[in-house]
Structure 1
Amino acid sequence: MVLTRRAILKSSAAVPLAAPFIGSAMAAAPIKVGSLVDLSGPLGTTGQPMLDALKIAVEAHNKAGGLLGRQIDLINYDTQSSIQLYSQYAQALALKDRVDVVLGGITSASREAIRPVFDRYKVLYFYNTFYEGGVCDRDIFCTGTTPAQTVQKLVSYATKTWGKKVYIIAADYNYGHITAKWMTKYTQDDGGTVMATEFFPLDVTNFNATISKIQSEKPDLILSALVGSNHTAFYRQWGAAGMSGKIPIASTTFGIVNEMATLQAKESNGIITAFGYYQELQTPASVAFVDAIHKQFGAGVPYIGEPAACTYEAFNLWAEAVKKSGTVTRMPVIKALDSGLSFDGPTGKVTIDPATQHCIRNVYLAKAVDKKWDVFKTFPNQTPSDTASVCNLIKHPNIDKQFVIDVKTKA
């Protein structure tokens, strides 16, 4: 095909007429939000409420006109409690779907599998589950609680209420090992003694030998950092051995995989936990949050705990930062988040700490009573002081690692 000069000029003259249409189409392109949570496997009952919370947050914004005049597309992958799938789907979100932000991960192992992927491809990432602390990375915001915010409160209450001789049981991966160190430190700080510490892989379901050891050692209390539905077997076997109520239990994790629904009331009654959120909180924001999830997904959804509430708040913090910066581009959004941005959510007022990119938030103590949580104490505005001891992104913005915090314990 031979084009004459006149034809070329006519073709060129048509470009300005098309340009406004093209620009309008580009402006209307949806904002893409990625989600990576387990909807099946041992952690499925934790992941489902996290996705539900994210869905209602996205839909509320879309009904109000979206963000920056653009609708929001939510792209979710079920990671099926598989670290391999976390890595695979993280690549898909970054390279195929080209999302603007990702919210996801449940275990610390899953976070550490996907965090390097999002660092490499410069994708902003929110991790919204309580964890052992120490992540220091310009591209990630951690909205869940850390040990200085929750474990310290839990251990202090337990040792002052029940006694100083402690037996620790925990999951055999980085969360369990590091949390056990914090449990030991806080027990010793309160003048207590750790009689023994045992770790269990996530697939372990038989705890009879450990229960026999605990019966023999006769501690004043048990501190538990067991994780996942397989470890729920401990509490069932503890009750079957006739130990429910005989030696009290305080846990950093109990309830996170809907144990209250699967266990009998007599198997869970009296267990104490500390989290950044319980669905039983009766503040207007909490009640509205729980009602919205139940209205859309039914009252039979798994328990709505800290990971779900923190996911909801993380999305809203990100949305506020997008509005403030006027873009979804990563660095302007990060700067807006680091300006001390706050959001009043179901857990209370949540504020980004710019030095750690973690949250300053309320913490609550609660007791299991007849398959519900009795929230009996509130600690307002708790800071992530553990992570702050190793992380200052204001002074060192190019760090992208998880520090293993040197937890000082006595030999």
Structure 2
Amino acid sequence: MSQSPGTRRGFLKLGAALGGTALSTPFIARHALAAEPIKVGVLLDQSGPLGLSGQPMLQATQYAAKVINDQGGLLGRPVQLVTYDTQSSMQLYTQYAQQLALKDKVAVVQGGITSASREAIRPIFDRFKTLYFYNTQYEGGVCDRDIFCTGTTPAQTVSHIVPYALKNWGKKTYIIAADYNYGHITAKWMTKYTREGGGQVLETDFFPLDVTDFSATISKIQQASPDFVLSPLVGANHLGFYRQWAAAGMKSKIPVASSVFGLSNELKSMAPSVTDGIISAFGWYPTVPGAGSTSFSDGMAKMFGPNLPMLSELDSASYEGMMFWAEGVKKAGTVERLAVIKALESGITIDGPSGKATMDPATHHVIHNAYLAKAVAGEWAIQDTYPASPPADTAAVCDLIKNPRMDKQFIVNVD
């Protein structure tokens, strides 16, 4: 099931030629073959700067569909994925979102990686009354009846990273962040938690996603002499920072903690001499113990083979997004949008890779375990576990039970 680069290019060309028809149909239980399929739209970057993250997210979605279909599908019908490669392009995100809603008439959409991509397509799904699952760790604050978010927010991750750094490394930090809403808002959360812990942010620098040269920034950090660096850098181009940081001899002098590092196969694509010692926090790592975690990792490896990249929260959240939707459909007894929303708002709980996970009715975000880990010899060594972590940042501004017509992203005040 694994794809070589040449095979993947052929796959993408085929997708373009077919104009976005159902490009990936998972195995379907034999007794459900004759039933009309339930279409699930998938919008993920399979190429472009975020392709390294999007490829395993798609694979996790395909695996979830296979698990559902192997169990007989939903409501006696198979699940069929309708997949588009958004190529890290906002224009393609909006184009394909409209196609999924109007032409393909999917029951739900699973997808989006960056917050910018989510905010490009979320209004489209609101307008055309299409249920949407955003399965990515992000900055928090989305409050919309038609969207469910399965990734972690800063209250579930950054709130653990910063105290760890302040306790173990010192009180002065330097923040380097991606120059779009995720990076800007996460940097604010990092600043908030640093100040609350008695620390000081010496400076914050922002970088567009196409920046690859960090030599000038590394010189600035050297001059500032922080105790540690906090990094919400995003995407394949920004991985250059970590290589350049190690090459400049800084890795052994100033430690780094990141809210994003590990979501793009970094521990397998870079040497331990670059990655060892980096701290992160997510809702799941491949080294998380438990039956759900092991079953997910083993199932993905069996389906896609030994070339599967190191999995991350993006992938476990993509799987859990499918499973939450499936449980909502089962409880509702229909794929009709409002009925599924009502079912999901009943507090549905699943046992997923991250452990026990519960959909919070008021925020449409997930209450689940969070983990803090350190990169050691190409693996994630779990340092601490935070059970049933709530999305407290979003909960401070969002209550969809009281305000069901809400459809915006709040910029949470972190001052």
TM-score between the two structures when normalised by the length of structure 1: 0.92
- Aligned equivalent of 1:332, options 339, 342, 361: 339
> 1:363 aligned to 2:386?
no
Following superposition, the deviation at residue 43 of structure 1 comes to 1.0
* 2:290 equivalent in structure 1: 283
Report which of the two structures shows the higher radius of gyration computed on alpha carbons: 1
Offset at residue 28 of structure 1 (A): 2.9
Q: Is 1:113 aligned to 2:120, yes or no? A: yes
Per-residue deviation, 1:263: 1.5
* Aligned equivalent of 1:257, options 259, 264, 279: 264
Tell me the secondary structure at the aligned position of residue 299 of structure 2.
helix
The alignment status of 1:77 with 2:90, answered yes or no, reads no
Could you say which residue in structure 2 is the equivalent of 1:34? 41
Aligned ranges 1:95-134 → 2 under 5 Å = 95-134=102-141
User: Which one-letter code corresponds to 1:240 in the other structure?
Assistant: A
Whether 1:212 aligns to 2:219 is: yes
Name which of 232, 237, 243 aligns with 2:239. 232
Counterpart residue type for residue 171 of structure 2: K
1:144 equivalent among 151, 154, 159? 151
Structure 1 residue ranges (4+ consecutive) displaced by more than 3 angstroms after TM superposition: none
What is the CA–CA distance in structure 2 between the aligned matches of 1:271 and 1:85, rounded to whole Å? 34
2:361 is aligned, of 339, 354, 359, to 354
Give the whole-Å Cα distance in 2 for the aligned partners of 1:363 and 1:376. Answer: 11
- Residue segments in structure 1 that go unaligned for 5+ positions in a row: 1-24
Task: State percent identity of aligned pairs.
Answer: 63
Which letter maps to 1:401? K
Question: More deviation in 60-69 or 173-182?
Answer: 60-69
Q: Shift of the alpha carbon at 1:224?
A: 0.3
1:170-229: CA deviation from partner (whole Å, max 9, x where unpaired): 000000000000000000000000000000000000100110011111100000000000
Counterpart residue type for residue 52 of structure 2: T
> Does the residue aligned with 1:309 lie in a helix, a strand or coil?
helix
Distance 2:78 2:268 in 1: 37
Shift of 1:282: 2.6
SS of the equivalent of 1:122 reads coil
8 Å CA contact 1:245–1:270 kept in 2: the answer is no
Please state how far the C-alpha of 1:56 moved relative to its aligned partner.
Answer: 1.3
Q: 1:47 aligns with which of 48, 51, 54?
A: 54
Number of aligned residue pairs: give it: 383
Instruction: For 2:318 and 2:92, locate their aligned partners in 1 and report how far apart those are by CA, in whole Å.
Output: 20
Q: Does 1:310 align with 2:317?
A: yes
- Whole-Å separation in 2 of the counterparts to 1:302 and 1:117: 32
How far residue 355 of structure 1 moved from its aligned partner, in angstroms, is 0.6
Q: Report what 2:387 is aligned to.
A: 380
8 Å CA contact 1:46–1:302 kept in 2: the answer is no
SS in 2 for 1:77: strand
Q: Does 1:93 align with 2:88?
A: no
CA distance in 1, matches of 2:205, 2:359: 35
What is the DSSP-based 3-state SS (H/G/I as helix, E as strand, rest coil) of the residue aligned with 2:151?
A: coil
| Residue 376 of structure 1, CA deviation | 1.6
Secondary structure at 2:358 match in 1: strand
Quote the offset at 1:45 in angstroms: 1.5
Task: Indicate conservation of the 8 Å contact 1:129/1:143, yes or no.
Answer: yes
CA positional deviation for 1:248: 0.5
Q: Which moved more, 1:104-113 or 1:295-304?
A: 295-304
CA contact (8 A) 1:48 1:302 kept: no
Answering whether residue 250 of structure 2 is matched by residue 243 of structure 1, we say yes
Shift of 1:345: 0.5
Q: Give the distance between the partners of 1:233 and 1:101, measured in 2 at CA.
A: 36
Alpha-carbon distance in structure 2 between the residues aligned to 1:149 and 1:216: 32
The whole-number CA distance in structure 2 between the counterparts of 1:142 and 1:282 is 24
Q: Does 2:259 align with 1:274?
A: no
Corresponding letter in the other structure for 1:273: S
Residue 370 of structure 1: how far off its partner (Å): 1.2
- Cα distance in 1 for partners of 2:168, 2:316 equals 29
Post-superposition Cα deviations, 1:140-196, rounded to whole Å, max 9, x if no partner, equal: 000100001100100011111100001000000000000000000000000000000
**Take 1:259 and 1:200, find their aligned partners in 2: how far apart are those partners?**
19
SS of the residue corresponding to residue 148 of structure 1 reads helix
Using the alignment, how far apart are the partners of 1:217 and 1:98 within structure 2? 54
Other structure's SS at 2:156 match: coil
Q: Deviations over 1:232-252 (max 9, x none)?
A: 000011111011121010000
Partners of 1:64 and 1:191 lie apart in 2 by: 52
The aligned counterpart of 1:171 is 178
SS in 2 for 1:34: strand
Give the Å deviation of 1:257.
1.3
